Structure 1
Amino acid sequence: MPKKKKEQKRITRKLLNKYRLVILNEDTFEERISFKLNRLNVFVMVTITSILLISGTIFLIAFTPLREYIPGYSSTSLNLKATRLATTTDSLESVMILHQNYYSSIRKVLTGDVKTVEFDKDSAVQAQKLNTEEVDLTPSQQDIKLREEVSKEDKYNLFEDEKSDVDFSLFPPVKGNITSAYNVNEKHYGIDVAVPKDTPVKSAASGTVIFSEWTAETGHVMIIKHDKNLITAYKHNASLTKQQGEKVRAGEVIATAGSTGELSTGPHLHFELWKDGYPTDPSNFIDFEQ
């Protein structure tokens, strides 16, 4: 025990022994500045200075833009730019998908690439459950008369299942004899109307021209997008009078009939009518006969 106490006293004396730090003029040895120090004071000052330096460094790194210059720390401006780029990329991707679907529908009109509509099995099963022998299906005279009136009214109505405040009707693009009818089995998704060369071709309804170019198989082609997801196509024209992006009105001249393209066999108009991405028989809604 005495040795331990002596050792503690010796260490304490070393820590508390006073020293003088003197700064002299090298030429004259004149004393300029002097400090009274001991080892304990020096230790305390070094510790406090280290703590202040570490605290200041942490503050600069955590709360000032200087941290951007330290390797390993991300830049706030770069993070903001990256966020904006990610948002812009998502928006462009959505627009690209929309345009791809849009161009896909145009390609279907040009190439006739149509998928077969699936058969509704549920409706067939439900129909088989009905016993037609127990039901009187003979229409009355009033029913027959009403059906005739409705049939005449709906012959040219392409949107009988949709409610609209606008009276939407289709204008015959040309008048003439139908030489080739609509036939899905032969992938003929329109009708051919024989007309003299350079006969004016008119728009079936108001809309926007979405395609107005030359194709090898069908010559000068124009495709117009109308309201209610309706698209009309005019093929084998001799010339086109409207460009892509132009607005047209119903009955407005958009082309002249001809016999252009590899698939044409004479002056005529090949006219197609597409609804919701699927072709339909134009002769059910437009009277082409002269």
Structure 2
Amino acid sequence: MAIKNKKKSKLKQKLTDKYRLVVLNEDTFEERFSLKLSRLNAFVLGGVFSILLIAVTTVLIAFTPIKEYIPGYSSTALKIKAAKLTFEAESLKTKLAILENYTKALKPVLTGEIEAESIDSIQTDARQRVIDESKLNASKEDSLFREKVESKDRFPIQNNANSNVKIVFFAPLSGSISQDFDANSKHFAVDIAAITGAPIKAIADGRVIFSGWNTETGYVIILKHTKDFISVYKHNGNLLKQQGDFVKSGEVIASVGSTGELTTGPHLHFELWSGGYAVNPTNFIDFK
């Protein structure tokens, strides 16, 4: 055990013994530079330097053009050129295929399998065909049928409804009336104040005949009902139905908003028309 301890102490002493490296002027023996190092310090510094050298070399190879000088690596310009040549080769293949198909089509004519006279005869027959335009004109029955269809309403709700059935309207929105119907001031509607986003409902069953944007009144939706009634909803925030949709009474069709140039705040501008004339909605609907 004593021998082993002595060997360990000697090894430790060899590693930790410090040596002085001195650089002298040969003529004057003046000390220029000196450095104290042990063998252990030399091994550590050498290892760290080696690791840094490997790391720097790896970075230079991976992220700089130096790698192009290493066998096995291709330059960026070479890759671009290779890709361009690949595209050109594909284009040439396509053109070659077109030429081959064209040659195959001409081959029967060039080899005499199809005579030129037969081709000319086909063209002659095509020129001799005359279309009788009189057969394209509509007959009397077709004209009467077209007039009948065009004269019909696009959304014929009233034609299929019973004229004796009484129509019942429901309030489109719960809220207070901020402006009443006034024909003298040409305000053919009632304005109902409500919070933004409140649901607006259809006053009765009907068909959407318009759903879109207007500069003055914003988002507008118009419904056509039985008995030749039409309801108009203006200044909406969002429209939930499209033109041509059929809606049931009480179904949500839009939301309260403040769109358009003529709006003064979130509200519903509601109009009711009967037979082409504006009527006071309060005479038909209880808004309370």
Give the TM-score normalised by the residue count of structure 1. 0.48
Larger Rg: 2
Give the TM-score normalised by the residue count of structure 2. 0.48
